[in-house]
């Protein structure tokens, strides 16, 4: 099968962050499929283009067996809301052009993963003009999440976003959702028929975690990075409005008399403000780090006592799975889950940690002190989460299931 994937945030080999689609496409090419990706020139939390992309609209690269065409994204992307919106639209236009004129050969299917939502228009146009089915993936309920977090307020843009959403859902041959709550929302609220929906969730990358679990020198790493004697709770991910990491600063302040250290790894529009706030409030037990490559992220997780999954307290986020939750599970670390809804249900089904009500400082304080008093829970819950993820969320297994569904709609095994 020859697959064309449109993914604005498809990672480069040296990019930090999650790698859902990098892993999916790796498995598919190992199975003998051919994959071409139309990706953006700016990382999701990046500030500007790499020097090799300056002044260029398209750059063809090879990442292992995957062919990648990097497409133009406006450098206003991370400057302000209008810049972010133009960043989305600029990629929509550039990816559509690349899909029509730069991606060579005959493709069996075009897959679009969202957000951003508007890139679905690129997938539709390419599918119609190049004569192939269009598969759409919902990684976030957009525009609802942008509205709930206050990122999207313009009524005209909201109306346009809902129209685009409806159009894409109608024209896609198959829609993949990442959580059971998304599945239910699309069926019951959006009116999407069940025979058009599948669910291939985020998953754990055991290929990396199991190698590190066998050879990682935890104590040496902790000593090298100033983590000795600390009860380390690591958060890995975006530092944006949706994450509301101010709640971690509040928790750190409440736990100043303990050896708890919150380690926040990542980038985002809110990071500078959060760092300034931590300094002004003199919160000594919250440490900020820049993003690091995935293998290094796993080392920090393994060197920690717990992993944290954190989002703002809004109803839309009750429908999402945090990508990093599965990384914590694969590293046998219990999770401090500050996300209600399906993420909480997953955690409790797996016995993989404890739910803490988002933005509730008293609950953060109470729950973390319980772990300090009963550290034996860490190993028990870490093992439980690992075993649950191994059975239900192995990325290689889900990748093969995904390509099987796609093969079904185009008549290929």
Q: What residue ranges define each of the domains in the chain, with the CATH number in brackets? A: 2-203+394-410 (3.40.50.2000), 206-392 (3.40.50.2000)
Q: Are 238 and 268 in contact (CB under 8 A)?
A: yes
> Nearest Cα to 388, choosing from 309, 335, 311?
335
**Phi, psi (rounded to 5 degrees) for 304:** -100, 170
Q: Are 256 and 283 in contact (CB under 8 A)?
A: yes
CA 87 remoteness from chain centre = 19
The continuous run of DSSP H or E covering 60 comes out as strand 58-63
Each of the 413 residues of the chain gets a pLDDT tens digit; together they read 999 999 999 988 877 666 789 999 999 999 999 999 999 998 766 667 888 999 999 999 999 999 999 999 988 776 776 777 788 899 999 999 999 999 999 999 999 999 888 899 999 999 999 999 999 999 888 888 778 777 778 888 889 888 989 999 999 999 999 999 999 999 998 999 999 999 999 888 888 888 888 899 999 999 999 999 999 999 999 999 899 999 999 999 999 999 999 999 998 889 999 999 999 999 999 999 998 888 899 999 999 999 999 999 999 899 999 889 999 999 999 999 999 999 999 999 999 999 999 999 999 999 999 999 999 999 999 999 999 999 999 988 999 999 999 999 887 66
């Amino acid at each position: 099968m020859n697959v064309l994937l449109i993914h604005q945030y498809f990672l480069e080999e040296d990019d930090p962050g999650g790698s859902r689609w990098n892993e999916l496409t790796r498995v598919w090419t190992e199975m003998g499929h051919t994959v071409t990706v139309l990706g953006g020139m700016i990382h999701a939390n990046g500030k500007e283009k790499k020097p090799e992309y300056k002044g260029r609209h398209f750059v063809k690269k090879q990442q292992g067996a995957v062919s990648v065409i990097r497409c133009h994204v406006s450098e206003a992307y991370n400057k302000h809301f209008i810049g972010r919106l133009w960043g989305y639209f600029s990629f929509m236009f550039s990816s559509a052009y690349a899909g029509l004129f730069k991606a060579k050969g005959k493709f069996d299917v075009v897959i679009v993963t969202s957000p951003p939502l508007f890139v679905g228009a690129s997938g539709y146009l390419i599918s119609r003009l190049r004569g192939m089915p269009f598969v759409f993936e919902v990684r976030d309920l957009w525009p609802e999440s942008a509205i709930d977090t206050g990122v999207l307020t313009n009524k005209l843009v909201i109306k346009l976003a809902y129209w685009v959403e409806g159009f894409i859902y109608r024209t896609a041959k198959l829609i993949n959702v990442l959580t059971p709550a998304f599945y239910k929302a699309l069926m019951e609220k959006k009116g999407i028929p069940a025979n058009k929906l599948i669910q291939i969730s985020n998953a754990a990358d055991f290929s990396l975690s199991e190698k590190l679990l066998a050879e990682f020198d935890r104590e040496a790493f902790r000593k090298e990075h100033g983590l000795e004697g600390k009860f380390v709770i690591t958060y890995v991910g975006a530092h944006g409005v949706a994450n509301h990491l101010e709640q971690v600063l509040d928790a750190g302040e409440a736990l100043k008399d303990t050896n708890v250290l919150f380690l926040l790894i990542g980038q985002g529009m809110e990071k500078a403000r959060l760092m300034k706030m931590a300094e002004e409030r003199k919160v000594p037990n919250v440490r900020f780090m820049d993003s690091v490559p995935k293998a290094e992220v796993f080392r920090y997780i393994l060197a920690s006592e717990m992993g944290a999954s954190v989002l703002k307290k809004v109803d839309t986020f009750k429908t999402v799975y945090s990508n990093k939750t599965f990384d914590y599970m694969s590293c046998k670390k219990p999770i401090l889950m500050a996300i209600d809804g399906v993420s909480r249900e997953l955690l409790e089904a797996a016995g993989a940690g404890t739910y803490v009500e988002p933005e509730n400082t008293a609950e953060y304080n109470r729950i973390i002190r319980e772990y300090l008093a009963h550290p034996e829970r860490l190993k028990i819950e870490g093992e439980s989460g690992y075993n649950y993820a191994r059975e239900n969320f192995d990325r290689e297994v889900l990748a093969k299931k995904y390509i099987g569904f796609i093969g079904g709609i185009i008549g290929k095994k």
